[in-house]
């Protein structure tokens, strides 16, 4: 291989690695958001939704890197589908809440039940996907590092 070919291959590898990092961060944030949404007190609701933008774009881009990790690919495809279902349900919920004569407490309770069931299903899958990415690609959870050092929200100088 020529030097230029080697450099090009290295750049492609680094680009894919950066995309894996983006995927990792999206999974972290979705796991945290899903947990927060499902823990809202009864009778209340969250306006948060989950993101699939990075997952949608990157599955194709990083598939060549991930294809050997069949379990991870299955999890990511499942997450993508389930998050789309959650977001569609959220749109329906928000529309119902905006309608006059809606029993808001009942609608919110049904939505919370739905979100709690999705949390039970998806948080373990998200955690497993994150662990595979950590073990296979050496990615680290920056949120866990902050939690361990106690620096979350700490503005000391």
Average pLDDT over residues 54-70: 86
Q: Mean pLDDT, to the nearest integer, of 67-71?
A: 92
What residue segments make up the domains of the chain, in order of their start? 3-136
92 vs 153, residue with greater confidence: 92
Q: In the chain, what percentage of residues exceed pLDDT 90?
A: 53
Residue bearing the bigger pLDDT, 26 or 14: 26
The confidence score (pLDDT) of residue 17 equals 82
Which region among 4-13, 35-44, 67-76, 104-113 has the lowest average model confidence (pLDDT)? 4-13
Q: Name the least confident of 7-21, 24-38, 143-157.
A: 143-157
Phi, psi of 47 (to 5 degrees): -95, 0
pLDDT at 9: 67
Residue 41 φ then ψ, to 5° = -60, 150
- Unique residue bearing structure tokens 């899903």: 34
What average pLDDT does the chain have?
Answer: 86
Per-residue pLDDT of 132-148, as tens digits, reads: 999 999 998 877 765 55
| Position with higher pLDDT, 51 vs 119 | 119
Q: How far is CA 63 from the centre of its chain?
A: 17
């Amino acid at each position: 291989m020529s030097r230029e070919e080697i450099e090009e291959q290295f750049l492609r590898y680094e680009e894919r690695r950066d995309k894996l990092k983006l995927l990792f961060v999206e999974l972290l944030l979705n796991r945290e958001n899903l947990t927060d949404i499902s823990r809202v007190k009864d009778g209340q609701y969250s306006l948060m939704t989950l993101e699939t933008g990075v997952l949608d774009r990157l599955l194709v881009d990083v598939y060549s890197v991930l294809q050997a990790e069949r379990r991870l690919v299955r999890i990511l495809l499942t997450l993508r589908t389930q998050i789309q279902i959650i977001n569609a349900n959220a749109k329906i919920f928000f529309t119902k809440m905006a309608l006059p004569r809606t029993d808001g407490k009942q609608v919110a309770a049904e939505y919370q039940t739905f979100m709690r069931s999705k949390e039970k299903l998806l948080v373990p899958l998200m955690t497993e996907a994150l662990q595979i990415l950590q073990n296979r690609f050496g990615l680290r959870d920056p949120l866990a590092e902050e939690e361990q050092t106690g620096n979350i929200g700490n503005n000391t100088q």
